[in-house]
Chains A and B, each alone.
Chain A
């Protein structure tokens, strides 16, 4: 009797369990779904529609403007300079930042009290917001308040680029150091031992042992850094406002200007942001494939 009862209980229990998941799973996932649909899926739909519409900031929808939005973007006199500058900035930033971050990670990979202090010092800037860091450097670079005197940090296109890169390196080096440290700490000690026994020098060990073994961390850093730099906005908006002579306008700044400053043309801004989205998708898929392909070979 009791056995029967308990078997019946088990049966109900397992039936309940089997039925429960799908139901309850959805109940718990519902808030996520609501957020994702309202604030992500629907906006993607709207931006796609805007990109083919004549859509003013205040006027709203004013009919179809299908290929014109895109051709207007390509004909914008600031478009190609912005693309060129953004790509140049991305290359410079990524190379310098990752090289420095790797150097820092190698410096602090043993854990002692001293390296603990070093790690914290390198990481503290990454707690600041990018906007706060940019405001800090804005004051640091201004001839009136700068501790470096009357050096012109933002006066020419070249110096404005390098000064901004310095800000970004300061703000992000610790962050990428941390990501690379994860990779370095995943390398077992006996690998180095084996390299040493084989008579490998320091540089050889680094190049032939360390670098290949942290490839996935390096890949992650590269993807994050390239994507982040291509979408640069805050630092240029605050530090240079795109100047001198529109030489430091990035793509995202151009989108912002088209939408909210002067032109007030949401349709055109949407068209440009769709182009950016597509370019990023292609680039990320290519980076993913390339980096994964290398790993397999």
Chain B
């Protein structure tokens, strides 16, 4: 008896959450004054986007390069680090682990001001590599923590039997342990990608060359074009381009996303 009204209520709530996304996708192709798409439906707003300054291709490429590098750095560093923290005893282990987690406690803004100066000194100012390195550092607390608990969850006998069979620790890691911690790696990679693709304040501070901007900054800057008149159609198109890869990845890897959070959250 109560089923149907409840379905209506919860369904309405779900629609409320989906509405902005649906609206943005529809509005980006619908006719609207003050945009390139004035009459009829079509992809005029995407054309505006494609021709904005360096072109959307360049900004997409910048974002893709930064995201891929960040994912790679994060995976490599946290895989090795998680292995070290989970299986070895070495002096300074606990301090290093705590300092890594302490990154979470420090506001981005506090770190970005000195990083701006530091990257200048390292010759990495205004570069996508410098940006990726900084974004990787921001990912390390979560990634290292998750990889550590992933390695700790692997049965000890598995690694030990491999070592008795004469595998060195690196071969054990590569052939035995990496397959065992794959779910953790997928979660870490997904989170690193989403964070790098979407980050705003880090490139805002670190990148000043407009041809090197990642997509979120480029779309945000695009609004201040043409004598202060905002092209909302192009903004909507930009949001769709920004959101699409994230939503597709999220839907494809939803289980990992949810599980990754649950294991991280439970013990955090």
Contact = CB atoms under 8 A, between A and B. Distances in A.
B144 interface: yes
Contacts of B266: 182, 186
Contact of A29 (B24, B27, B81): B81
Contacts of B262: 178, 182
B232 A35 contact: no
Given A129-B198, A220-B265, A145 B236 contact: yes
17 contacts: A17-B163, A20-B169, A23-B90, A29-B90, A36-B140, A39-B111, A50-B114, A118-B14, A135-B216, A136-B21, A139-B236, A140-B24, A145-B27, A179-B261, A182-B261, A233-B108, A280-B105
B80 A32 contact: yes
A249 B159 CA distance: 54
Given A36-B99, A138-B235, A25 B90 contact: yes
A192 interface: no
B268 to A, nearest CB: 6
A231 B107 contact: yes
Contact of A107 (B10, B136, B144, B233): B10
A234 B201 CA distance: 7
Contacts of A281: 105
Interface residues of A, number: 85
A145 B106 contact: no
A25 B80 CA distance: 9
Interface in B1-28: 7, 10, 13-15, 17-18, 20-21, 23-24, 27
B177 to A, nearest CB: 11
Interface string B197-224: 1111100110000000000110110010
Contacts of B29: none
Given A35-B140, A179-B265, 6 more contacts: A127-B247, A128-B242, A131-B217, A135-B216, A139-B239, A277-B106
A102 interface: no
A207 interface: no
B117 A46 contact: yes
A85 interface: no
A38 B185 CA distance: 24
Interface in A129-163: 129-132, 135-140, 142, 144-145, 147
A137 B235 CA distance: 10
B103 A36 contact: yes
B83 interface: yes
B21 A124 contact: yes
A260 B206 CA distance: 11
Nearest to B195: A129
Given A22-B90, A44-B114, A145-B233, A129 B106 contact: no
Top 10 closest pairs, chain A to chain B, by CB? A129-B198, A25-B88, A25-B90, A127-B250, A28-B84, A32-B81, A46-B114, A121-B14, A131-B200, A145-B232
Interface in A1-34: 17, 20-33
B27 A114 contact: no
A255 B205 CA distance: 11
A45 B246 CA distance: 36
A132 B27 contact: no
B96 A29 contact: yes
Nearest to A238: B220
Nearest to A137: B20
Contacts of B77: 31-32, 35
B113 interface: yes
Interface string B92-113: 1100100110110111111101
A65 interface: no
B65 interface: no
Nearest to A18: B89
Given A26-B90, A29-B85, A129-B194, A144 B34 contact: yes
A29 B110 contact: no
A213 B245 CA distance: 37
A284 B85 CA distance: 25
Interface stretch (A75-83, A197-205, A267-275): A267-275
Nearest to A107: B10
B222 to A, nearest CB: 10
